[in-house]
Amino acid sequence: MTRARIGVLALQGDVREHSRALAGLGADVVLVRRPEDLAEVAGLVLPGGESSVIDKLSRAFGMRDPIRTAIADGMPVLGTCAGLILLADRLEDGIAGQQTFGGLDATVRRNAFGSQTESFETDLDVPAVGDPRARATFIRAPIVSEVGPSAEVIARLPDGGVVGVRQGRVVGLSFHPELDGETRFHELLLDTARDA
C-alpha cells in the first residue's frame, strides 16, 4: 500500500501533535506553509490553535484561496477545534473581519464553552469511527450551533450539543483527538485520502 502524503497546516497551533499521530499511522507528513506545499498532499489537517490567527496568517502567506479551492475540489480535510471554525461556512462570534475557508454547511460558535479554565474531557459515541467510545478533550472549544442539509452530525455531547460534523470528505471536530492518542479520526482521513 502506498503511503499517503498528508499535510498539516503549520501556521499556528498543535501542528506537532497531529504530525506525530499521522506519522504513527504510516503517513508521509508535509508541513504546509505555502501553496506549493499544499499541492504535494492528498489530504490536509487544520489543527487546533487560535482560529483568528490562523485566518490572518493564511491570508498573509497566500494560503487562504488555495485551501478554499482544494476543499471545493474535494481534498479530504480534518479540522479540530480551531480547524472546525475554519471549515464552517458560517461563523458566530468571530472577531471583526474574521474569515473561514468553508467546506462544512454549518454554523459554528467560537469559544462556546468559556475560557481555558472551563476545559473538560469526556467520552463520545462516534459511529463513524466505531467502538470503543472516543476520548474527547475540549479546550476553549467551539460548538456547531446549526447544521445545514448538506452536512451530517457525527458526534454529540450527552446534552445533544453538536461537536462533530462531516460533509463529503471534510470532517470537523470541536475537540482535540490528537491530545488523547485517539487516532481513528486521522485513520479516517488517511483512508479517505487513499480512496480519493
Domains of the chain, each with CATH number or no CATH: 5-195 (3.40.50.880)
* pLDDT band (50, 70, 90) for residue 1: low
Q: Which carries the bigger pLDDT value, residue 183 or residue 3? A: 183
Q: Using CA atoms, how far apart are residues 196 and 43, in angstroms rounded to an integer? A: 9
Instruction: Respond yes or no on whether the N-terminal peptide bond of residue 142 is cis (omega within 30° of 0).
Output: no
**Amino acid of residue 140:** R
User: Of residues 18, 178, 182, 186, which has the active-site annotation?
Assistant: 178
Neighbours of 2 (CB within 10 A): 7
Summarised one tens digit per residue, pLDDT across range 21-36 is 999 999 999 999 999 9
User: Of residues 18, 40, 146, 176, which has the active-site annotation?
Assistant: 176
**Amino acid of residue 65:** D
Summarised one tens digit per residue, pLDDT across range 150-162 is 999 999 999 999 9
- The reply to whether 81 belongs to the active site is yes
pTM: 0.96
